[in-house]
């Protein structure tokens, strides 16, 4: 970020032109300026780097927790209106970041990587954060969506990676001499191939952890002990990651939530008849922009979406991105992106 000291006779328009940036980008980098016409000589203002010259989020096979943190730091520096905080910590003490974009009264929440081998959903959400911020800073639309208007009406909260420990394990980034790794190795029957691992580092499926008929889910799951997949834990919200996302959700007034998973190109939108009537209208719009299939009910309980619909009676969705076997290869990224970008935007708009 460059600092500029205002000279006599200068206006924000002149300063923006001098540095080759959009006036709106200058305004969002200086949110404390209430009246742009009243800047004074000697006043110091922030000059953001031209966003169009930098691409921060690069989809790649090795995209994990550290890459996400580095990109979030770079995005904060480039787009000062982005707010990054933490909703809590993982079993191994990793912070779970949350990103806020927009300042509207309506609140919407997206999350990804509940399941460790579905880490490509983190890359999708991070790329959306970058593109959404870039469009706002430059005053441009994304397709037909007016991003300035969405920022003004909606506060979007994104948790890009609910399960950092699990993602690091799948990607081979947990030190093999740690107790956590050795325990996971035992749970994985001694195999160092963790590509099939969905759980957190303790072998608990974080999306089977919510108090929405959890006991019923336990009865139908084959796993009765820590496992790479499908073990609901010994109690609802037993894991720090599931507790963190639950407490975060309870602390907000979300109008809509979407949990992004892989794979199947499906959108699950109902839960035991508790979903509001508008959910069907919304999922119709999501299908229109993505080509995904809408699925109302499946034999499943205790998921994040299930719990949200049950306790708030508001629209909640599980979006299964892409097709194939998890973890989906990064080569599929842009094909998946072309379909979910509309879901990201429509979920804020509706």
DSSP string across 133-170 = HHHHHHT--BTTB-HHHHHHHEEEEEES-S-HHHHHHH
Cβ atoms of 93 and 196 closer than 8 Å: no
275 is catalytic: no
b or e along 309-328 (b: 16 or more beta carbons within 10 Å of the residue's beta carbon)?
bbbbebbbbbbbbbeeebbb
- d(CA 336, CA 333) in angstroms, rounded, equals 5
Question: Which among 118, 130, 241, 320 is annotated as catalytic?
Answer: 320
The DSSP output letter for 58 is -
Q: How far is CA 300 from the centre of its chain?
A: 23
**Counting every residue, how long is the chain?**
350
In 3-state terms, what secondary structure has residue 232? coil
Beta bridge partners of 346: none
Residue 68 φ/ψ region, left for φ over 0, alpha for ψ in the -120 to 50 degree band, beta for the rest: alpha
Cβ atoms of 333 and 322 closer than 8 Å: no
Beta strands in 53-134 (DSSP E): 83-89, 95-101, 106-112
Beta bridge partners of 84: 99
Catalytic residues: 320
């Amino acid at each position: 970020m460059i600092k500029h000291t205002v000279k006599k006779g200068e206006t924000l328009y002149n300063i923006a032109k001098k540095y080759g940036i959009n006036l709106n980008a200058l305004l969002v980098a200086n949110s404390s300026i209430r009246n742009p016409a009243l800047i004074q000589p000697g006043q110091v203002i922030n000059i953001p780097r031209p966003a169009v010259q930098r691409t921060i989020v690069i989809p790649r096979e090795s995209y994990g927790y550290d890459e996400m943190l580095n990109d979030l730091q770079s995005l904060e520096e480039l787009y000062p209106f982005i707010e990054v905080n933490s909703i809590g910590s993982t079993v191994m003490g990793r912070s779970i970041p949350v990103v806020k974009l927009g300042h509207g009264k309506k609140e919407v929440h997206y999350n990804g990587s509940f399941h460790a081998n579905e880490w490509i959903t983190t890359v999708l959400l991070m790329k959306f954060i970058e593109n959404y911020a870039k469009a706002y800073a430059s005053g441009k639309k994304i397709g037909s969506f007016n991003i300035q208007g969405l920022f003004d009406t909606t506060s979007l909260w994104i948790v890009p990676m609910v399960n950092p420990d699990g993602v690091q394990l799948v990607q081979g980034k947990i030190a093999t001499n740690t107790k956590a790794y050795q325990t996971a190795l035992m749970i994985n029957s001694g195999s160092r191939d963790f590509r099939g691992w969905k759980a957190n580092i303790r072998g608990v499926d974080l999306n089977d952890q919510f108090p929405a008929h959890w006991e019923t889910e336990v009865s139908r799951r084959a796993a009765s002990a820590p496992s790479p997949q499908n073990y609901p834990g010994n109690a609802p919200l037993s894991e720090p990651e599931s507790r963190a996302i639950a407490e975060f959700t309870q602390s907000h007034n979300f109008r809509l939530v979407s949990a992004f998973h892989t794979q199947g190109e499906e959108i699950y939108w109902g839960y035991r008849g508790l979903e509001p009537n508008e959910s069907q209208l919304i999922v119709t719009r999501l299908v229109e922009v993505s080509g995904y299939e809408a699925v109302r009910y499946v034999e499943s309980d205790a998921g994040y979406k299930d719990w949200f619909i049950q306790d708030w009676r508001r629209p909640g969705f599980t979006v299964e991105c892409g097709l194939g076997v998890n973890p989906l290869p990064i080569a599929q990224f842009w094909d998946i992106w072309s379909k979910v970008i509309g879901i990201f935007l429509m979920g804020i708009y509706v």
